[in-house]
Amino acid sequence: MNKLILFGMVVLSVLAFSGYKVWAQLREENKNVNTENAKILIAYYSYSGNTKEVAEAIHEKTGGDLFEIKTEGSYPDEYRPMTQQAKKEIQDGYRPKLTTSVADISKYDIVFVGSPNWWGTITPQVSSFLESYDLSGKTVIPFITHGGGGVQNTVTDMTAQCKGCNVSKDGWVGYGSRTLGISGWLEDLGFKK
Ligand SMILES: Cc1cc2nc3c(=O)[nH]c(=O)nc-3n(C[C@H](O)[C@H](O)[C@H](O)COP(=O)(O)O)c2cc1C
């Protein structure tokens, strides 16, 4: 092989490898949250059970306190009217009154916040939670379940509604009740095996 081509290939390989190393290092730095002696709360809203399953899988791995967000109000049994009511609530910025409460939010360092994706955003119940509690200065780790649309605006809206919080960019976004991969995701974030 032409020596010049060989030299070029070696240089390119070295550049690619060092670029990857920097990227991997930055990724690790950004991802890790301080889990040392951290007090953990896992708060979630779940309408049909998927987000609850994910919350329980997180809890199994991290320990801490599990908290189900419940509110006043109800939805029709039929799917379409239910989704239409939810759509209107989101458009109107409706914030249902919470009917479950966290005893002492100030003691938590890390708060996982779980929501289904509803019309591309978080549910009104989760918005009520975010606006009712002072989570400023805490690390907030989103976990989102969806029906095929993925993350859409859920995490950006959660970040906007969680005033002064450090919302992790490396939350969980999973289809339905999928829990496969949760252990690895939590380990990447710095939670012990
Ligand atoms: C009112 C409503 C709106 C929804 N909108 C979306 C959506 O915009 N994108 C999407 O991917 N899934 C959407 N879904 C599907 C849910 O996000 C998905 O089934 C989720 O896992 C349900 O979580 P849960 O069982 O904890 O309630 C919607 C479901 C409902 C009930």
- Kindly state whether residues 78 and 100 are assigned to the same domain: yes
Q: Measuring CA to CA, which residue among 67, 80, 66, 50 is closest to residue 146? A: 50
What is the enclosing helix (H) or strand (E) of 66?
A: strand 65-68
Q: Per-residue pLDDT tens for 125-161?
A: 999 999 999 999 999 999 999 999 999 999 999 999 9
Residue nearest (by alpha carbon) to ligand 1 atom 28: 118
Q: How far does the centroid of ligand 1 lie from the alpha carbon of residue 31, in Å?
A: 27
**Ligand 1 shell residues, CB under 6 Å:** 46-52, 83, 86, 116-120, 145-149, 176
* Structural domain range at position 4: 1-31
Amino acid 36: pLDDT: 87
Amino acid 102: pLDDT: 98
Amino acid 97: pLDDT: 98
Q: Which neighbouring-strand residues pair with 145?
A: 116, 174
Q: How far does the centroid of ligand 1 lie from the alpha carbon of residue 174, in Å?
A: 11
Q: How far apart are CA 40 and CA 122, in angstroms?
A: 21
Q: How far does the centroid of ligand 1 lie from the alpha carbon of residue 121, in Å?
A: 9
Strand pairing class (172-175; 139-146) = parallel
CATH of the domain at 143: 3.40.50.360
**28 pLDDT above the threshold of 60:** no
- Kindly state whether residues 42 and 109 are assigned to the same domain: yes
Q: Per-residue pLDDT tens for 29-75?
A: 556 688 889 999 999 999 999 999 999 999 999 999 999 999 999 99
